Structure 1
Amino acid sequence: MDIQAFKNIWVVIETANGSVKNVDLELINQGKFLAESSGEKVVAIVIGQNVDEAVKTVIAYGADEVIVIEGENYQVYNTDSYSNAVVKLAEKFQPSVLMMGSTNNGRDLLPRVAARLQVGSAADCTAVEVGEDGSIAWTRPIYGGNLLSTVTFTETRPQIGTVRAGSYGKGQPDSGRTAEVIKEVIQTHADQIRTKVLEIIKSVGQGIKLEEAEVVVAGGRGLGSAENVSLMTELADVLGGAVGGTRACIDAGWMAPQLQIGQSGKRISPKLYIGCGISGAIQHIGGITSSDIIVAINKDPDAPIFEIADYGVVGDLFEVVPILIEEIKKVKAR
């Protein structure tokens, strides 16, 4: 395999109700840094139906080129049709890097693509950078998030991996940007499609998703019980944010598993993060370092979280948070 023949950074775009998922916009932004060292392009792969708005969005956020596959067969994600489309594109255009958000669809699609292309893949990464030899270094947590492993593919191309949401920030959109749009026609025969979507059931979860929230209020072991999670919810509500927690909260059954923040949970990048009763274990810190502003509330002045916090309040969260809620309400009432 002549790896020098493979060029450009590809991001497979996933849409929800016509909108591009935040994680893909984050990867386009990081893709620009990956491409800088080699002078390559960031190419967005958009598959679906009625994708004009998605194409405009990825161009505004920095895609240098967009490859579009559109049709009724791609209206709803399907493992067989989507993997066939991405494999055919990769064989034709030979990208150097192929990445996607570590979503349910991303975890399903890219390993299948890697297997068909007979290359390796890195799953659920928290960082993707250019390594010393020019290959891509994929960093992923192992052993429940207690260790980090770096994976590289030095002899095969494309280099494939999925990356967690919140690992990077989005760039600033520029509606005036232009980019080349290439439309490809790839059909998947009906006898190759082994699964069919019978019904789409909307999630029963309420509120703003952690990975999309601009404000996140997180609770730790200091909450003491499941009943006290309501205090976090109240603070998040007045700020228009989402609630999350540390692994200790999830293991204790105080919060649902999808609310876990950290290396073995979700990485977040809100404008404001407020940690309540959180000591600051390295596994949790790994999930919040992309936050613009970190506020810590803890009665232990030596808690490690204060070392990375922009603002720290040494005090009992059960005294501080209610006061904070009331003061925010007063400001909003003005």
Structure 2
Amino acid sequence: MQKQVLIAGGGIGGLAAALGSSRAGWEVRLFERAAEFTEVGAGVQIGPNVVRRLQAWGLQGALQAVAAFPERLQVRSALTGAELAALRLGNTAIERYGAAYATIHRADLHGLLLDALRERTGVHLNLGHSIVHHAQDGGVVTVRVARHGPGSDSEGGAQDLLIEGDALIGADGLRSGTRMRLLGETPTRVSGHLAYRAVVRQDALPQALRSQQVTAWLGPRLHVVQYPLRRGELLNVVAIRHGQPPADLDSWDHGANAADLEAALARTCTPLQDLIRAVPQAGSGWRLWPLLDRPPVAGPQEMAQGVVALLGDAAHPM
């Protein structure tokens, strides 16, 4: 009989696990708490190992349509602007590793995985549902699934379902319920790093600030990374500095972050400061993300136990 994998979470990791499982011949039931599939964040760099996997899944064309493929990665001093190191990408990466180095908007990567899944039979994508309990016995895992949204009882009850599977993958993020049930309650840690993220249209930037390569600016207690997205039409900028997050992010005025960031970069070189100042005018402005993590996993027993495994931020947040 066909085996069935249950997946908690419909982010990039959960969708990738679903697609890989489906292509391996498993039936897939994925449960995502949100009412619709969305991907929060900005850009992500994907190395040749990831690109090779997407190619094996038949997604080279879809990737080519939405990603950028930088020819070069450079590291520069944030204080002086001097180039510290450089790495050739483009054809060099293809020749050396068998696939390209790509940069892509997280929403675009999420979207191409979702489109591929919707074309496959035996894949059941359940929005507005979350796995609230699991138990395994004799190679079978049973989950209790709660339905969310209008008319549902978020505390459980009549809306809950019991579903059996042959494996469970917890791809349910930093505050993973699967992880908590597997390893016990462990609080997240404030990393002491604040990430300011922005995506801007390249044609809205001055010519001197446009770029089709990856640049990492390194400075004391801060670094900034920039790279192209969406065929090079967009520029992703992430600035990370040491600092404590505001007490209440829900009421935090994200629009006010530009002044804080400019103050933190006051000693950096002119080209970097010009880029940071251009972001609010060329795009929708900065968004603040305090970075949280957990203690490193102690070993493989914290990644998988029996037929239950953790994936992505549920296992090893960065």
TM range (shorter): under 0.3
TM-score, normalization: structure 2? 0.25
With the length of structure 1 as denominator, give the TM-score of the two structures: 0.25
Higher RCO structure, 1 or 2 (CA under 8 Å, sep 6+): 2
More strand by share: 2
